[in-house]
Amino acid sequence: MRIVLLGPPGGGKGTQAAILKQHWQIPHVSTGELLRAACRDKTPLGQKVQAVMDAGELVSDDLMLDLLEQRFADDDVDNGFILDGYPRNLAQADALDKLLSRIGQPLDAALLIEVDEQNILDRIEQRAREEGRSDDTAEVVRNRLQVYAEHTAPVADHYAADGRLIRVLGEGEIDTITQRILAAIRAADWMQ
């Protein structure tokens, strides 16, 4: 099973990815962790990433795709993966589809975890208190939600256009959301 997780910041993607990883016994591929690991391990790609980040620039789509292709070549993704943090826009979604097709691992589904803005603000406020994250202020979160609405939300339409989008309400208890996800995937005809 090869799935991309979509949803707003603070929507629970990371939490659900950790649970689904255990349930399906497939890796959670987080682009943020890929970038950090490449820099930490000082791989050739990691050195390029570090230079870009040190210059205060965003990692290019090409460089991110190279990191993803390298990760998808690992044996542990033979039975699938849960991709989190990518794609963030339509160009990246198209590029990811091409990469996965070229390496013979086409995406099965995009799972959109839908959460309303107030619920997200409440979650982020709680996370900021518990984890002391400085990037979890209401102003920063509202900005991230605006960027998400403009650039990332349309990615769901990309996957809906060819019938690969699964929508799940991401509000309520964590276990309840997980059960909604599993039920929605079981109900998807093409996932049988």
Supply the residues annotated as catalytic: 13, 88, 127, 133, 144
Using DSSP bridges, classify how beta strands 2-6 and 28-30 pair: parallel, antiparallel or unpaired. Answer: unpaired
**For residue 38, how many C-alpha atoms fall within 13 Å in the half-sphere facing its CB?**
24
Which amino acid is located at 174 in the chain?
A: I
Radius of gyration of the chain from Cα atoms? 17
Q: How many CB atoms lie within 10 A of CB 107?
A: 20
Structure token pair of residue 30:
């987080």
Type and span of the H or E element at 121: helix 117-131
Cα–Cα distance, 6 to 107 (Å, whole number): 13
Q: Which among 159, 127, 137 has a CA at the least distance from the CA of 14?
A: 127
Cβ–Cβ under 8 Å, residues 89 and 155: yes
